[in-house]
Amino acid sequence: MKRNLVALLAVVAFASATAVAQDKKAGAVGALEYTKVTATVEAIDQSTRAVTLKGEKGDLVSFVAGPEVKNLAQVSKGDIVTIEYAQAVLVGLEKSKSTVRERVVTEGKQGAPKGQMPAGIVVRDVAVVASVEAVDAKKGIVTLRGPEHTVTMKVKDPAMLKDVKTGDMVKASYTEAMAVRVEKAPAAAPKK
């Protein structure tokens, strides 16, 4: 499914809305990104499952719909595909009692019932416990090492680093969700 999602996301250059929030009491900085893309089915070959979508700016993306794309037989040229994608990140410098770097991923998905137009949603939550590798309180920079990656981040409020020191374990979480739905092409207006 991942290859199909990547192909769908490539339909248009994303126009993203991003919000950043900071909660000093919770000691966390968060960001939310939401994107909605609409495309039209330009071509579809049911036998090979090849699909070409045309974005709002006229760009074309072609891909082969994998077996996880249910109800493809319901899709026709001219149908409208809507893709909504959201990411939420909450980086907390809240100390963790854990002494081990860990990453826990929880995923869920749901598709349209058989015989309906294709639709589905995929939600992925990632919770990470990371070690603090370096802190530069004057510059507001912290380096965190998780089980898979090490990242250096600029903290918007350097005061958040007041109680954080090298060797501490902190928590972070990340959520992304994608919803895809296909709707029948609008009926053509009758000619007069």
* pLDDT of the residue at 64: 96
The alpha-helical segments, DSSP class H, found in 18-135 are none
* Alpha-carbon separation of residue 97 from 11, 65, 158, 174 (angstroms): 43, 44, 23, 20
CB-side exposure of 21: number of CA atoms within 13 Å? 10
| Residue 50 pLDDT > 90 | yes
Provide the residue ranges of all domains of the chain, joining segments of one domain with +: 2-183
C-beta separation of 134 from 142 below 8 A = yes
> Which of 116 and 163 is assigned the larger pLDDT?
116
Classify residue 180 by burial, with Cβ atoms within 10 Å: 0-12, 13-18, 19+.
buried
pTM of this structure:
0.62
CA distance 107 to 37: 23
| Residue 69 pLDDT > 80 | yes
For residue 68, give the 3-state DSSP assignment: coil
* Alpha-carbon separation of residue 32 from 16, 59, 142, 188 (angstroms): 10, 27, 21, 38
Ramachandran angles phi, psi of 58, nearest 5°:
95, 0
Sign of CA dihedral 146, 150, 156, 160: positive
Over residues 76-122, the pLDDT tens digits come to 999 999 999 887 766 667 788 888 999 999 999 998 898 899 999 99
- 31 confidence band (pLDDT: 50, 70, 90): low
